[in-house]
Structure 1
Amino acid sequence: MPPDVPPQPFWRIALPHSTAAVPIARALVRTALAELEAPADSDTAELLTAELVANAVEHTDGSGPIELVVELLASGCQVEVHDHDPEPPGDLSGLLPESTPDPWQEHGRGLLLIRALSSACGHRPTEHGKAVWFTLPSGPPPPGPAAR
């Protein structure tokens, strides 16, 4: 990185591999965004972070750590959840799912939420598994039809 470009502020925190990680991650994202003075919507960041952490806890075997990374970007923020499983998550491409989630089921809508509410999302391999991420733009989300 050139010397005249300051590094972007970020938080990196290890989480327990248990359901207790979800509320911890929500609180950490709220605190990180406040401390970094991130202009992104904290409520949306908390919700999407909870989805990523819950997926990491549910879909990995617990033999490796889960890590939360929150980074302030010029255009908003990026949140990543790292786990040790190299298998990619479900569809984050933005394509429609093969079937609509059953409204009575407890699971099946997390990745849809992430795709719908983030400005970008995806996953990438890491040295020890993968990182699943989303970005949020600066400012609150635009008002939807219900807010008018």
Structure 2
Amino acid sequence: MPNDAAQLWEYVIHIPHDPRAVTLCRHTLRVALALHGLARVADIAELLATELLSNAVRHTKGPVAFRLLWADGVLRIGAWDADPTPPAPPLRPAPVAEEEGRGLDLVRACADLWGWHLQPKDGDAGKYVWCELGAA
């Protein structure tokens, strides 16, 4: 199995606006990381991808895309959606009993860096929310 950890590579998956598509992206992420010799970051990358994609599907309408990019020793995980509204960080931590409301808190806590920017695509005035992991 080749170790492509030093090479630039990228995968982009356009998914339907359907929560089941998040599972497909998680499985694809795991396979891509294993094939590129980066299985050691798969657990945390899967958590981050799930949070970003779930937010895109849950809080917006329209198309969604998943992006996985490896460059210069950094894994960038991102979700694009058609809604230009900024991701709203919670005003306070979600109560422990709540099942929702911790997505961006998890991303902030687990990623080395995260952010978002407006990114129109195919006539949709969307945004791209991303995070990065160093694979050291």
User: Shorter-chain TM-score category?
Assistant: 0.7 to 0.9
Tell me the residue number matched to 1:94.
none
> Take 2:39 and 2:98, find their aligned partners in 1: how far apart are those partners?
34
AA of the residue aligned to 1:21: A
> Take 1:33 and 1:24, find their aligned partners in 2: how far apart are those partners?
14
AA of the residue aligned to 1:84: A
Tell me the residue number matched to 1:56.
56
Tell me the residue number matched to 1:144.
none
Counterpart contact for 2:13–2:25, Cα < 8 Å: no
Q: Which has the larger radius of gyration?
A: 1
- Report the TM-score, using the length of structure 1 for normalisation: 0.78
> Take 1:108 and 1:137, find their aligned partners in 2: how far apart are those partners?
26
Q: Which structure 2 segments of 5+ residues have no match?
A: 1-6
Tell me the residue number matched to 1:3.
none
Tell me the residue number matched to 1:71.
69
> Take 1:87 and 1:32, find their aligned partners in 2: how far apart are those partners?
30
User: Counterparts of 1:111-126 in structure 2 under 5 Å?
Assistant: 111-126=104-119
Aligned residues: CA RMSD: 1.9
AA of the residue aligned to 1:68: F
- Count residues with an aligned counterpart: 127
User: Counterparts of 1:98-117 in structure 2 under 5 Å?
Assistant: 98-117=91-110
Identity %: 35
Deviations 1:9-31 (A, max 9, x none): 10011112111022111111111
Tell me the residue number matched to 2:17.
17
